Amino acid sequence: MKTNAVRLLDKLGIRHELRDYEVDPDDLDARTVASKIGLPAEQVFKTLVARGDSNGVCFAVVPADAQLDEKALARLTGDRKVELVPLKEVQPLTGYIRGGVTALAAKRNFPVYLDETAELFDVISVSAGVRGTQILLAPKDYLAAVEGVVGEIGRKV
C-alpha cells in the first residue's frame, strides 16, 4: 500500500521495506505489532503526539516497550511541562489515526524527537501511516526523511 509516508520515502530515494501484519482493533499496542512483524519491541518505534506548555505540539518517537519520559521531553523542547495529546486531537493534528501515526508526511510538520536507542540498530520499524503496515529503514534514513519535512531534528528523547 502506498501511503503518504511511503510516497515521501520513494520521493527522497530512501531504501525501505514494508512489513504488513494483521490488525486487531482491540489490541493496537506497539509491542503486539513488534511480535506480529517479527522484531524485538526495542527495535519497533511508536510515534506519540505531545504538547508542551510553551512550544506546542511535537512528535516523540520511542521504542514499543518504553514509556515516554515527559519530563525528559520537556527539557528537550524547552517546556516546563509536556503531556500527551488527547486521542481525539491526534487525527486532526497529524492526519493519522491511533495505531498509524508517523512523523513521515504528517498533516503538519511538528518537531520530531527520536529516542537515542534507535542508533543501536541497523534497521528500525515505524508506522507507515496506516494500521497494518510498518516501514523498516535505517535510523539515519528515518532522520533524513523527517528532517526534510520538519525544521527541528536530531534531538533525543
Buried-state track 50-77, b at ≥16 Cβ within 10 A, e below 16 = bbbeebebbbbbbbbeeebebeebbebb
Q: Cβ neighbours of residue 120 under 8 Å, at least 6 residues apart?
A: none
Dihedrals phi, psi of 109, to nearest 5 degrees: -90, 95
Short-list 105, 98, 118, 117, CA closest to 48: 98
* pLDDT tens, the chain, 157 aa long: 799 999 999 999 999 999 999 999 999 999 999 999 999 999 999 999 999 999 999 999 999 999 999 999 999 999 999 999 999 999 999 999 999 999 999 999 899 999 999 999 999 999 999 999 999 999 999 999 997 554 444 444 4
Find out whether 156 and 66 touch, Cβ atoms under 8 Å. no
Where do the domains of the chain lie, and which CATH numbers do they carry? Answer: 4-147 (3.90.960.10)
